[in-house]
Amino acid sequence: MLEPNAATTRIATWNVNSLRVRLPHVLQWLESNPVDILALQETKLNDPDFPIDEITSAGYKVVYSGQKTYNGVAILSRQDAADVLTEVPGLDDPQRRFLAANFGDIHVVNLYVPNGESPESDKYTYKLNWLEHVRAYLEGALAAHSRVVVVGDFNIAPDDRDVYDPEAWRERILCTTTERNAFRGLLDTGLQDTFRRFNDAAGNFSWWDYRAAAFRRRMGLRIDHILSSAALIERCSECVIDTVPRGWERPSDHTPVVATYT
């Protein structure tokens, strides 16, 4: 086990499903997991309503791009963000799902990928188009930066190991071959699924439906991911899914994923 040192950087992602409700969970989690960077999705807050003071008091800077009721992304960080980007270039999208910034020499991209609803839905077409524009953005980002980390709620289970019942989910939303190919398209820009560098096993999940006691019954999907560029993956010592907060009172339906770089 590596000793923590000044050169260690920990980056985490967590879909909180309303930061208004989950701010205490975030602050409690940060107390025992003082990561350098925490990317949040589904904050569901207008920017003027963002809880800056509470996050500043916890020792973090923050940048955010929110809207009322739906979506919304934020990045908490120990050091200041630079070159903040809130739009996917070339995509005219009122939904606040994208936030990119530099933290030192690391380019961080925080994604809340559209759910898609079902393969027959217009939202599915929107999801695939959104992912194609992000893929194009990442090609440029990887050409400009050596250290790139892409984190968030991807709303895609990359393969059958990431699904509690693969046959029941065959070609359903989050698991269709087309979505999985789009995920591979993101990796093909020069990124690796960081969790899979350390763990080949099935049954590791980051999301469990609120319904039908899915968490207790271990009926989950791995849809929250950390993708690392080659320069970062060779410095990555660990990537874990922290299932503890999913068991807390009034939890988000997602739980944090954390990568450690040395």
Residues noted as catalytic: 112, 153
Q: How far is the CB of 212 from DNA (least distance, A)?
A: 5
Q: What backbone torsions phi and psi does residue 239 show, to the nearest 5 degrees?
A: -145, 120
Residue of 21, 82, 143, 244 that binds DNA (CB under 7 A): 21
Q: 20 vs 184, which CB is nearer to DNA?
A: 20
Count interface residues toward DNA (CB under 7 A).
17
Among 24, 59, 80, 117, binds DNA (CB under 7 A): 117
Asked if 13 and 39 touch (Cβ cutoff 8 Å), the reply is yes
* Cβ distance to DNA smaller for residue 68 or 218: 68
Near DNA by CB under 7 A, which window of 14-22, 56-64, 86-94, 180-188? 14-22
Residue 180 sits in the site that holds DNA (CB under 7 A): no
Q: β-pairing, 106-112 with 98-103?
A: antiparallel
CB of 49 to DNA, least distance (A): 9
Give whole-number Cα distances, 96 to 92, 169, 211, 217, in Å: 11, 28, 26, 33
Residue 123, interface with DNA (CB under 7 A)? yes
Select the span of 12-20, 50-58, 80-88, 143-151 touching DNA (CB under 7 A). Answer: 12-20
Q: Rounded to the nearest 5 degrees, what angle is found at the Cα of 18, between the Cα atoms of 71 and 110? A: 50
- Check if the beta carbon of residue 67 is closer than 8 Å to that of residue 93: no
CA atoms of 17 and 13, how far apart (whole Å)? 13
78 near DNA, judged by CB under 7 A:
no
Closer of 20 and 217 to DNA (Cβ) = 20
Listed residue (54, 56, 70) closest to 17, CA to CA: 70
Q: Near DNA by CB under 7 A, which window of 17-25, 81-89, 141-149, 226-234?
A: 17-25
Binding site residues, DNA, CB under 7 A: 17-18, 20-21, 44, 68-70, 114-115, 117, 123, 155, 210-212, 250
